Amino acid sequence: MSFSLWSSKIYFLIELTIVYKYTSVIPGVTFEHQNAPPETRLYKKRWIIVFLFSSYSLCNSYQWIQYGIINNIFMRFYGVDSFTIDWLSMIYMLTYIPLIFPVSWLLDKKGLRVIALVAAALNCTGTWIKVASARPDLFPVTFLGQFACSVAQVFILGMPSRIASVWFGSEEVSTACSIGVFGNQLGIAIGFLVPPILVPNVDDLDELAAHIRVMFYITAGVATFLFVLVVIVFQERPEIPPTHAQATARRISPESYSYTASILRLLRNKAFILLVITYGLNVGCFYAVSTLLNRMIIEHYPGEEVNAGRIGLTIVIAGMVGSLICGIWLDQSKTYKQTTLAVYLMSLVGLVLYAFTLDLGHLWVVFITAGTLGFFMTGYLPLGFEFAVELTYPESEGTSSGLLNCSAQVFGIIFTICQGKIMDSFNTLAGNLFLCAFLLIGTIITACIKSDLRRQLANQQALTAVSIKPNLSAKHVRFTITLYTLYAIYCDRNQIKVFMTFPFRNKFMFCVFC
């Protein structure tokens, strides 16, 4: 055998030795132990976490509307005007605006459990402060209690999408987010229904104080029980992530994450900014309608405080059904923009119907139109959260949700004050048409949002990468190389010459698949 033939074989054997020793770093080939797809798992405890969150969110949102729905009763009890009582609801909106950024930062740095504990503790503290305020001369104390609850709300509103992403699979996130929002909506529904029942419009102030005190004690007891449950049960995150997207997000080191940089990236995201505006317009209208509902109903139907609460209940219950249906639909269809646009348009239609039927003199008609309005307007809440997460992945869900809610609070304060002044100067129809104009603007802007579903793309890419990678073990490859090496030693000159012209990667793949 000639020297050139042996030299070619020796060179070839050197290459194979390198391959044999460093199998795990061959470019373009993935082994069982190299770049394996991250393990994912769904835990049953995820349902306990989301329902516990929904429960203390319910307790907090109930208190948002408990004054406004019996506005006229609290006006007389504390001896203040209607606008002052409105501020007991608007304080929830005002507090949120300056606090959302530090709370979002805290959520990113400390995680879900810390935020849940602070929220439940503040909510519990606020309820007990209000227990001590059931006297006509203690309005500042009741305002302080409401302020504490409003601060707790800042720690609550941004969590549904974060809990859904951290705990739930890609086919469940929209449903889970809807359940998280569901608790907030159910709390508002109870806030519409229960206060008119527990606090009847009686003339005797001492009797009225007793009714108010009973209402505050019940709320404080529930809030305390939920706080204890959060301390015992609430967990930061599952040991194994539920999705490939969440596994990727976990690989980002805390040191490399900058909250300020994240905010700046979100502000440069045109589609997300448009969603922030449209979400604020829609939810701001809902806040205004909810806060002023008692005044609207009492103006056309005097003495119907209980039915005003029932109409509010109808709005929210219909919205809860809408939220769940929309969440399930999104998990199945992934049509985020189309669904959001359709629900937004129907919210506009529902508000127009409500505005023009309110003064017809038939309460049953108001119940129907209010339910239609609630189904779509309140049903929009989880849609906005989930669409935002899709548009901004891999940014923190708490940050994107926080900006959405901040927009909603700003517009909520503006719309509540403006609609109240318009109702005082003109009538309820003019006030509702004022809101309709802004919902129309929001519908047009929603149609302009680009549907850039980044989270869905990340999950699809992860699954595609897993499906196309060869499932070869290093042991199998090395065994194949060894066999081919023995064969190659006895090859003739022409075989070796042809083989030596292959690129290194092709030589290796040839060895593997021979």
Mean pLDDT of 90-97: 87
Model's pTM, two decimal places? Answer: 0.66
pLDDT digits (tens, 9 = 90+) for 464-478: 655 555 544 555 555
Report whether pLDDT(368) > 80. Answer: yes
pLDDT at 364: 86
pLDDT at 504: 47
pLDDT digits (tens, 9 = 90+) for 209-245: 999 999 999 999 999 999 999 999 888 777 777 777 6
Return the closest-CA partner of residue 325 out of 262, 397, 379: 379
Fold of 43-240: Growth Hormone; Chain: A; (1.20.1250)
pLDDT digits (tens, 9 = 90+) for 482-508: 555 555 555 544 554 444 454 544 444
Mean pLDDT of 340-366: 89
Query: What residues contact 277, with CB distance under 8 A and at least 6 apart?
Result: 407, 442, 445
Architecture of the structural domain at 263-452: Up-down Bundle (1.20)
Query: What residues contact 294, with CB distance under 8 A and at least 6 apart?
Result: 68, 69, 70, 71, 72, 305, 308
Name, of 352-356, 391-395, 473-477, 484-488, the range with top average pLDDT: 352-356
pLDDT digits (tens, 9 = 90+) for 275-305: 999 999 999 998 898 888 888 888 888 877 7
Query: What does the alpha-carbon distance between residue 28 and residue 23 come to, in Å, rounded to a whole number?
Result: 11
Q: What value does the mean pLDDT of the chain take?
A: 78
Q: At what angle do helices 71-78 and 205-233 cross, to 10 degrees?
A: 110
Domain span(s) for CATH 1.20.1250.20 in the chain = 43-240, 263-452
